[in-house]
Amino acid sequence: MPVKYIPYYPDTVEGQAILNNITRTQRLLRYRENNKVYDRIKRGMPYYEVETIEVVNGQGLRANENTSERSLTINHSPLTISDNLVIRGECISACAYLKEKGIKVDLVYIDPPFASGADYAKKVYIRRNPKLAEKIAKAEEQLDIEELRSFEEKMYGDIWNKEDYLNWMYENLMAIKSIMSDTASIYVHLDWHIGHYVKILMDEVFGEDNLINEIIWHYTGNSIPTKCFQKKHDTIFIYSKSEDFTLNLDDVLLPYSESTLKRYNHTDEDGKKYKVSSLVKGSKEIVYAKEGRIPDSVWEIPLVRQVDEKVDYSTQKPEALLERIIKASSNKGMIVADFFGGSGTTAKVAHDLGRNFIHVDVGINSIQTTRDRLIQAGASFQILEIKDGVSLFRNPQQTMDKLATLIPGLQRNVPGISNFWFGAITEAKLGTVPVYVPNLLNTQEKVLDIPNINTIINQELQNLEVNAKKVIVYYVDVDDINEIEKFIKDNNATEIEVELRDLKNLLHEVVLEDQIMVSGQWLLVNEKGEQVFINDDKNMDKALFENKKAGDTVTINNLQLTINHYSLTINNFKSDRLIQKINEFNQKGNLQSLTTGKKFEPISISEEGLELIELISLDCENSEGPWHSSTEIKIDKLGYVIKDGIKTKDFWDGKITSEKKPKRIKIRNISGDETIKAIE
């Protein structure tokens, strides 16, 4: 359950309408169940406990400390702890946290799901076996990208019922507005699927008079033959919160065309170009050329093409697009927020332009991609996680898929069971038992309240085409379990039993840790400059190296030795989830090869399993609490090492070194699962 509910607006009173024009919204958008939205808005935004997961280039705070009263110094300049945040959680819960902490944002850019009906997948690349790294380096082998072994995993399904999407978006927009400063503006990036409906919602939330622009982002790319004109643009709606908003058009000027520049064919003593225009009665006027022209509402910006900018994230937007938005609608030092942060382009560009950033996303791949991107950019930030009772797998979609395997006997797509139900199980005495599981992608379904249970018993039970004697209803949170049970008893007009079950009992089984085997050794140098290796095992004198680091001296067998570094070797890495996924990929490929006749090369993993590792991080400071990365290496898909955010042309050799002995190690596999192990 939420710790409490945070009002969207401070003066809300029970039974009082939030907006004067709610009636107009209902008249214009006659979508079903929108009364639920207003009930939730009156109740407020759910505020959950927030845990600090990691602090990068800074000093952490516990989630319950008052961020408005604490600050730290980074690069000799004061920075409020809360200014740069990467938050794993949903938009509404993140807004509740920001509002509770008194944090206002000055610019919002969101690129939410488009209700496109498409599934978005992440391509997962198998890394080079580090045991072969030395041979590869000696042979100077160049690896062709087409030779990489990979498989795909679904990141999220952008499949929405239109009414559900609009209800969901309305709540998000209301939450975002509640934490915007008085001079803030919001850019909402959509396409033709749902944008025209969301435009009406934005008129209601922000006011028709606060529409600044409708931007058409036009881009080019490979054309796919269709029976209609190629769809090569997205739409971005810009609204302000008030009449007084930040807009710096002179900061986003574009170069003049050659034909325009030719008209400014004179140059003065200071080198400024001008033209001479004829006025009435033969008089002349000198007109100086400005630094450039103000962009119009059609932006010609190409898709992400530069290799250095690509981060292998399916919905990544180009930095040039966000650079224009952030320059135009914010000033240095302001806070820029993205509540559907994706690949982290908004946060990265905001940092580059001297703004503070807040990145929010519910997917772990988004958080990790953004974290790594910001580390390479040299940013300082905290990673927070909203503890809303849902132990998510990598993202909500994969968690939903995983849950289907955890409910004993569950069958999907059962005849006579609508898509409202997650599936059904068969019991000997009861026959078919429909099962409801809240959609973790949809905030509205996470709390089982009277409106939700009313929909189940007075609509879905009566629409069942099977002769069901019982249904099972899973919930994440429940408004009041006794009140819900009483409502079912008093209002269930059918003979069908409704059994309530806590979904959290299943969710904790979704997140399973990988297995890591490591061994460490100290590298020391004697007086002659010769290297001496000492294994870090249980038989050695632990106190000898306690609190020691590179450059310190120790005495062993009457010899004075200088510590060079601590080396940790990853001996074995096992991920049952990845092995299962790879086996499924191989089975599917083998079946396809039998039907198509094409040769299929299955993915094989070595006994050590080190090809399944993407990132290794060492914490030499803390044995528990927020993670502090003392040093880390990331292995890119070509097998090259990125050490502490700096790209190299070195292949990984299965080891990682640090100046001090680490207290714990974190390993991220190629799909994004992270496992932490203490170093004894």
Predicted confidence band of residue 586 (pLDDT cuts 50, 70, 90): confident
DSSP string, 347-414: HHHHHHTT-EEEEEES-HHHHHHHHHHHHHTT--EEEEEEE-S---SSSHHHHHHHHHHHSTT-BSS-
303's CB contacts (< 8 A; 6+ apart) are 219, 220, 221, 318
586 CB burial (10 A radius; 0-12, 13-18, 19+): middle
Predicted confidence band of residue 275 (pLDDT cuts 50, 70, 90): confident
Asked whether residue 145 carries a pLDDT value surpassing 50, the answer given is: no
Question: For residue 291, what pLDDT is reported?
Answer: 74
C-alpha 325, offset from chain centre: 20
Question: For residue 1, what pLDDT is reported?
Answer: 67
Round to whole Å and give the CA distance between 154 and 314: 11
Cα–Cα separations (whole angstroms), residue 16 to 4, 36, 191, 585:
20, 15, 35, 55
For the ranges 368-372, 440-444, 516-520, 641-645, which has the lowest average pLDDT?
440-444
Q: What angle do CA 495, 497, 503 make, to 5 degrees?
A: 155
Question: For residue 376, what pLDDT is reported?
Answer: 92
Question: For residue 14, what pLDDT is reported?
Answer: 43
Round to whole Å and give the CA distance between 151 and 669: 14
Identify which has the larger pLDDT, 653 or 557: 653
Helix boundaries (H) for 508-652: 576-596
- Side chain identity, residue 122: K
Helix boundaries (H) for 456-611: 481-491, 504-507, 576-596
29's CB contacts (< 8 A; 6+ apart) are 166, 197, 200, 201
Helices (H) and strands (E) in the chain, counts: 15, 36
Predicted confidence band of residue 151 (pLDDT cuts 50, 70, 90): low
Q: Which two tokens stand for residue 99?
A: 């509002």
Cα–Cα separations (whole angstroms), residue 468 to 9, 42, 62, 497:
44, 36, 49, 9
Query: pLDDT of 521-535, one tens digit each?
Result: 999 998 888 898 888
Helix (H, G, I), strand (E, B) or coil at 257: coil
Hey, how many other C-beta atoms are within 10 angstroms of the C-beta on 419? Answer: 7
Predicted confidence band of residue 222 (pLDDT cuts 50, 70, 90): low
Query: pLDDT of 50-106, one tens digit each?
Result: 999 999 985 433 333 333 333 433 333 333 444 699 999 999 999 999 999 999 999
How crowded is the C-beta side of 311, counted as CA atoms within 13 Å? 23
Round to whole Å and give the CA distance between 511 and 217: 39
Round to whole Å and give the CA distance between 154 and 158: 11
What Rg, from alpha-carbon coordinates, does the chain have?
29
Cα–Cα separations (whole angstroms), residue 439 to 109, 181, 412, 510:
25, 32, 15, 15
**DSSP β-bridge partners for residue 361:** 88
Average pLDDT taken over every residue of the chain: 83
Using a cut of 0.85, tell me whether the model's pTM lies above it: no
Question: For residue 60, what pLDDT is reported?
Answer: 36
Question: For residue 290, what pLDDT is reported?
Answer: 72
Residue 566 phi, psi (nearest 5): -105, 130
Average of pLDDT values for 229-254? Answer: 92
What per-residue string of b and e applies to 128-167 under the rule 16 or more CB within 10 Å gives b?
bbbeebeebeeeeeeeeeeeebebebebbbbebeeebbbb
Q: How far apart are the first and last CA of the chain?
A: 37
Helix H or strand E encompassing 666: strand 664-669
Q: Which two tokens stand for residue 430?
A: 């009861």
Question: For residue 597, what pLDDT is reported?
Answer: 83
Helix (H, G, I), strand (E, B) or coil at 170: helix
Round to whole Å and give the CA distance between 641 and 155: 25
Query: pLDDT of 27-45, one tens digit each?
Result: 344 455 566 677 778 888 8
CA dihedral in degrees (575, 579, 581, 582; nearest 10)?
A: 140
Cα–Cα separations (whole angstroms), residue 314 to 89, 121, 214, 286, 365:
20, 7, 25, 51, 11
Query: pLDDT of 450-461, one tens digit each?
Result: 888 988 998 899
Round to whole Å and give the CA distance between 563 and 554: 7
- Side chain identity, residue 330: S
Query: pLDDT of 103-144, one tens digit each?
Result: 999 999 999 886 655 566 777 888 888 876 555 444 444 444
Identify which has the larger pLDDT, 117 or 492: 492
**DSSP β-bridge partners for residue 45:** 6
Query: pLDDT of 314-360, one tens digit each?
Result: 889 999 999 999 999 999 999 999 999 999 999 999 999 999 999 99
Round to whole Å and give the CA distance between 381 and 385: 13
For the ranges 24-28, 129-133, 619-623, which has the lowest average pLDDT?
24-28
Helix H or strand E encompassing 453: helix 450-455
DSSP string, 313-337: -TT---HHHHHHHHHHH--TT-EEE
- Cβ-contact 645, 373 below 8 angstroms: no
- Side chain identity, residue 663: K
Asked whether residue 23 carries a pLDDT value surpassing 80, the answer given is: no
